[in-house]
Amino acid sequence: MIAYWIMASSNYSLCLLNGQAMVGNQLVSTNIYVEKGEIALISDKKLEATEIIDCTNLIVLPGVIDSQVHFREPGLEGKETLSSGMLAAVAGGVTSIFEMPNTNPPTANLIEFDKKIKKNLFLLPNLLSFFKKVFFFEI
């Protein structure tokens, strides 16, 4: 039996059922239980959960950090925008980014950074909603 990160709960909010996950140094078929947005239990037991997602033949991975992205906004939006780049990142399992300032003007100071963020604040609710649905990959 596999059981890690045990938190007492009679009903978890989410179960990722029968997914493949790295536990220790092995890829194992297991269930991942989530409570309050955090992994509460990894176990081969089938327990109660409000929502169950069948992850059979899927690998469940943590989010990836991409430490070098080039979104090209402002000034070079024909290549990529913050919106298109962030949606592509999320679809690929990327949860955090470090953007390079090769834009026109360069986003290399707080004034330009603030302009960029204010222009794109509308993205946040859409990205969060989309991200909640994209967190595993087919084998």
Burial class from Cβ neighbours inside 10 Å (0-12, 13-18, 19+) for residue 54 reads: exposed
Domains defined along the chain, listed by start: 3-56 (2.30.40.10), 64-138 (no CATH)
pLDDT at 70: 87
Higher model confidence: residue 110 or residue 31?
31
Query: For the chain, what percent of residues have pLDDT higher than 90?
Result: 28
The string of pLDDT tens digits covering residues 57-106 is 999 887 788 888 888 888 998 998 888 888 888 888 887 888 888 889 98
Question: Tell me, what DSSP letter sits at residue 82?
Answer: H
pLDDT at 8 over 90: no
Distances (CA, A) of 8 to 16, 32, 105: 18, 14, 52
Q: What is the pTM of this model?
A: 0.55
